[in-house]
Amino acid sequence: MTAPPDDCLARNEWICGEYLSTRRHILLDAVAQHLQLTAVSVLFGLAVAVPLAVLARRWGLAAGPVLAATTVLYTVPSLAMFSLLLPVYGLSAALVVAGLVLYSLTLLVRNILAGLRAVPEETRQAARGMGYGPVRLLLTVELPLALPAGMAGLRIATVSAVSLVTVGAIVGFGGLGNLIYAGMNTYFKAQVLTASVLCVVIAVAADLLLLAVQRLMTPWTRAGRG
């Protein structure tokens, strides 16, 4: 009777410290790519969502089409979305970013628009009475007051992006998803579990970080609760 292997890698265990020590650089590279894809997609999504929400707020007739279009985009399965974008972006990181941007629009536009709509009309009238033009009113009154709702959407969109980045493994740009996909194909237990846990850690850390930023940027909400 042969003795069992000495190390957890040879035994293919789910929890294996040897995997962490021997694959450290691979894990760090995957985490870096995961963070980069998430951050870029959310920032681009925010850059698109804010003008769309402002447009929908300014011109009421545009709200229906904007919300409908972004909702339809969110219902498209991720594999189908990447396939539709493939002729435009090819097998590249831009393909993953473009898909994540489109998915983030529903969450971001809806929440930003809800925040803008919640700004009291008397506040707008008071600002106009003080000589505020449309741009100054938007930047110094409406957007700051819409920040709590917008940040709520940003937090959800960011956590969603952390999850959806893993799907990018089908084109080779999935961050930790690459390790999960490869590990599942070879039944490499330690790799699948480690990469999955790191995805959860990134999502929780990102949400807590954005929550802290929200609290710093909206001190009046804490004062109101107090």
* pLDDT in the model for residue 124: 85
pLDDT tens per residue across span 60-110: 778 888 889 888 888 888 888 888 898 888 888 899 999 999 999 989 999
Domains in the chain, please, with CATH? 8-218 (1.10.3720.10)
- Rounded-to-integer distance, Cα 70 and Cα 40, Å: 19
What's the pTM value of the predicted model, to 2 decimals? 0.85
Nearest CA-CA partner of 30 in 178, 185, 189, 159: 178
* pLDDT in the model for residue 1: 45
Q: Given its phi and psi angles, is residue 113 left (phi above 0), alpha (psi -120 to 50 degrees) or beta?
A: alpha
Nearest CA-CA partner of 82 in 159, 175, 162, 168: 168
Q: Which residues of the chain carry a pLDDT beneath 70? A: 1-6, 220-226
Secondary structure (DSSP) of 143-211: HHHHHHHHHHHHHHHHHHHHHHHGGGGGGT--THHHHHHHHHHHT-HHHHHHHHHHHHHHHHHHHHHHH
Are residues 105 and 52 in contact, defined by beta-carbon separation less than 8 angstroms? yes
* pLDDT in the model for residue 135: 83
* pLDDT in the model for residue 3: 46
